[in-house]
Structure 1
Amino acid sequence: MTTPGGPAALYPEVAAHGSLAAALRAEAAGRLDGVPVTSSRSEPLFHAAVATTLPHREPLVISAWRVERRWHIRGTDTFQSLPVLEGGTDELAQVATAARAWHDGASLADIHAAAPFARPTGRFEVPDLDPVRLTESEWQSLRQEAAGLEYPWAPAYRSLIGAAYAEPALRALYPFTSHWALRFSTATRPALKVAGPCLSAGGDGVFEVGGGPVTGDLGRFATAREAVARAVAHLPPGLGPVILGGSPAATKP
């Protein structure tokens, strides 16, 4: 669904320039000179991408909302294709500021300082692809995400994430979620190797542990700590340290 009047009603300056890339350059007033900025061929008014000088970053993706005036940015890493920076704003000048900083290789914290709408996701960048650091980064992202949730079941979910992180045997594994169920892997993305039970927090305050996708077949518990203890008891022996999930070369086009 789009707003009445089409994109020109929400984004008159973009429509006037013919593309989001062109409008972004105009708004930047020279700050994006020499920076590769491209627009989508199919929807040039709604999508653009800004290149980066860092090999471990993908181009910054910029998308326009269709029902209200707002732009969303998403900056991902090249190996796991996971967002390290996201945010939304109705000010194209702020988008241009974030885009320039992303291109130039500014740190995530410095990009956020320059353009406050651009928020680090909790993941930190790991250019050398150290699997232990990638695991730490993913745990940090999960904890930050859980802290910001406002759903009725969010307190129980935060409790589950916190209890799992506090357990060294689980903290050493690479965490990921599926439908808000917490799972573990002995390899990082993009080629996960699932290991151990699955944990979930229900809206009724009950924590479930399952041998596979959550079924509760390994138990239902009143506290996250009890559920985590059961999960640890069912970890396969000799898991070893987390490894890199896939070849870096295989992820390149």
Structure 2
Amino acid sequence: MYKNVIVKTPGKSYVNGLTTSDLGTPDYEKLLEQHEAYVEALKKCGVSVTHLPASEEFPDSTFVEDTAILTPDFAVVTNPGADSRNSEIKEMEAILKGFYKKFYYISAPGTLDGGDVLKVENHFYIGISERTNEEGARQLKEILESEDYKGTVVPLKEFFHLKTGISYLDNNLIVAAGEFINHQDFSQYEKIVVSNEDEYSANCILVNDYVIIPKGYEETKRHLNESGYKTIELETSEFQKQDGGLSCLSLRF
């Protein structure tokens, strides 16, 4: 069960942030509405929300997931792979000191984005992507194994981040799209398979009694409901324009 969640309001500079999509420029007012709905959904899930104010100097900083890896006992402060995002970790480290006493750090030349790290019980899968390099993955794996967790490094072929195409729910069940449907590293899990057309919905989050999913993906919603999960659907169009998904917008612990 999650008790705490950290989120951050997107600033006006968000519309000029990093993206690989061709979905157009975000609508800032609509963005704020969608972020507010996200926060309200988290509150419905029964967590305490720490809500950070916008930082105009960091256009992408609403995607707080990339700044840290959190376990019940310690935090790992990352080293984001985009130069413009490196200093986001300073604010997040200060906030996390209100919750954690034990910290580890990813150091250059290693880079690591939290969006490339999937926690499955005591096993962490670490994607190597454009933002997370082999050295960053190696450092995190070493940290985790020193704390009696398991780590598996997963080079990506298709997706921007590892969690762009895969999510863990519970009870050995994952939601998988694209390259992860038949991936050998995830062969031991039961799967909800997401079609290529709906692959954006593979990035969903289980928060206590609910699975929060992007709105408009009826097949994914049906599979989740048939598997016994209650769902909350949210509009995410303005986050999708900047390569963002539901997991990116919070740190959950």
TM-score scaled by structure 1?
A: 0.30
* The structure with more radius of gyration: 1
TM-score scaled by structure 2?
A: 0.30
